[in-house]
Amino acid sequence: MIPYGRQDISEADIQAVVDVLKSDFLTQGPAVPAFEKAVADYCDVQFSFAVNSATSALHIACLALGVGKGDLVWTSPITFVASANCARYCGADVDFVDIDSATYNMSVSVLEEKLINAEKVGRLPKVVIPVHLAGQSCEMDKIHALGQKYGFRIIEDASHAIGGKYKGKAIGGCQYSDIAVFSFHFAIAKRYNEMLNEDWIEIPWQHPDSYSSFHLYIIRIKRKDKHVSHLQLFERLRNNGVLANLHYIPVYRHTYYQNFGYNTSDFPEAEDYYAEAISLPMFVTLSEDQQAEVVEKIVKPIGYQNLF
């Protein structure tokens, strides 16, 4: 069995926790400020604050920017639901901007068109939350320029993107945003790129302005190819002990958000992505043999028996 993800906790990690537990400080003390300073120095920013999760950080970021009842917040539909929930926690309304077909991040052209229409009806967003899916930065310079033109604030959901770069600088520096939020996870992609050379598989595309931290490794199955369906490949992997995943079901398809009446036809790229995307196992201790096994199960001829 190859899990989708697995933590890598060393003896040094355990000892670091034990040292804090045995120290004179538990809820306060030097460990957290040292961590905050390390992140601030890395991102070349003045302030960095650690909280229990990126979900909480997004909520706090919305509160810091004054998001409240009656306000409107836009984000990407292809994201962990916290990117939208953070606005709902504050009583704000949420809408979504369709994704770019290559990067799977918020589409700048769709954002601009949506802003033009929103201005006409007097319902512009107070905050836009671009999501750096899988660790690749959105086109933040263009989003920032639109923010300057239309007057919205920007929270970068960089949960996947610690270690990534945009235009040669560390993601999180807030050159193009008001606040950036990080989470922490693994990255390991080069071997997948080398081994996955089937013409019916799309491997992650990288924008030349970005250096991705590869929080996720997402492939897409070309539906027009007919070599294997999305469902068939997902079943093949799962039935053979490879616990592939899907990141993410579009937020507007979640039961809670369906109550707001979003129209799936407004998000054609997100719908195409949802019908084709599979996240492969991705963790620090994933061995070369395990990666080879994952790839072998992907490219295996289709003459096998599905369970369903």
DSSP-assigned letters across all residues of 292-308: HHHHHHHHS-S-S----
Residue 244 CA to residue 220 CA, distance in Å, equals 13
In the chain, the domains with their CATH numbers are 11-299 (3.40.640.10)
CB atoms within 10 A of CB 54: 21
Write out pLDDT tens, residues 194-210: 999 988 999 999 999 99
| Banded model confidence at residue 251, pLDDT cuts 50, 70, 90 | very high
3-state secondary structure (DSSP) of residue 218: strand
Peptide bond into 248 cis (omega under 30): yes
pLDDT exceeds 80 at position 136: yes
Average predicted confidence (pLDDT) for the chain:
93
Quick one: pLDDT at residue 223? 78
pLDDT exceeds 80 at position 226: no
Show the tokens assigned to 171: 């993601």
Residue 256 CA to residue 254 CA, distance in Å, equals 6
Q: Which residue has the higher pLDDT, 300 or 84?
A: 84
User: Which residues are within 8 A (CB) of 265 and not within 5 positions of it... i.e. 6 or more apart?
Assistant: none
Contact (Cβ atoms closer than 8 angstroms) between residue 280 and residue 181: no
pLDDT exceeds 90 at position 166: yes
Residue 185 CA to residue 135 CA, distance in Å, equals 10
Question: CA angle 208-166-216, nearest 5°?
Answer: 80
CA distances from 211 to 15, 80, 171, 191, 196 (A): 33, 21, 9, 17, 20
CA distances from 42 to 99, 169, 213, 283 (A): 29, 10, 14, 23
The pTM of the full predicted model, rounded to 2 decimals, is 0.92
Range 32-44 average pLDDT: 96
From 27-31, 49-53, 177-181, 264-268, the region with the lowest mean pLDDT: 27-31
Contact (Cβ atoms closer than 8 angstroms) between residue 277 and residue 247: yes
Residue 72: in which H helix or E strand, if any?
Answer: strand 72-75
| Banded model confidence at residue 2, pLDDT cuts 50, 70, 90 | very high
Classify burial at 46, counting beta carbons within 10 Å of its beta carbon; exposed 0-12, middle 13-18, buried 19 or more.
exposed
Write out pLDDT tens, residues 89-113: 999 999 999 999 999 999 999 999 9
- Alpha-helix runs per DSSP H in 121-243: 140-150, 190-195, 230-239
Range 43-62 average pLDDT: 96
Show the tokens assigned to 227: 């070599």
Contact (Cβ atoms closer than 8 angstroms) between residue 104 and residue 134: yes
Residue 274 CA to residue 271 CA, distance in Å, equals 5
CB atoms within 10 A of CB 171: 30
Show the tokens assigned to 254: 């979640």
Range 108-120 average pLDDT: 98
Quick one: pLDDT at residue 186? 60
Quick one: pLDDT at residue 99? 98
Quick one: pLDDT at residue 302? 56
| Banded model confidence at residue 115, pLDDT cuts 50, 70, 90 | very high
pLDDT exceeds 80 at position 231: yes
pLDDT exceeds 60 at position 215: yes
- Alpha-helix runs per DSSP H in 90-134: 108-120
Show the tokens assigned to 63: 């509160």
Quick one: pLDDT at residue 164? 95
pLDDT exceeds 50 at position 308: no
Quick one: pLDDT at residue 188? 81
Residues forming beta bridges with residue 127, ordered by sequence position? 73, 153
Range 283-289 average pLDDT: 91
Residue 203 CA to residue 231 CA, distance in Å, equals 18
Residue that the structure tokens 């790839």 belong to: 295
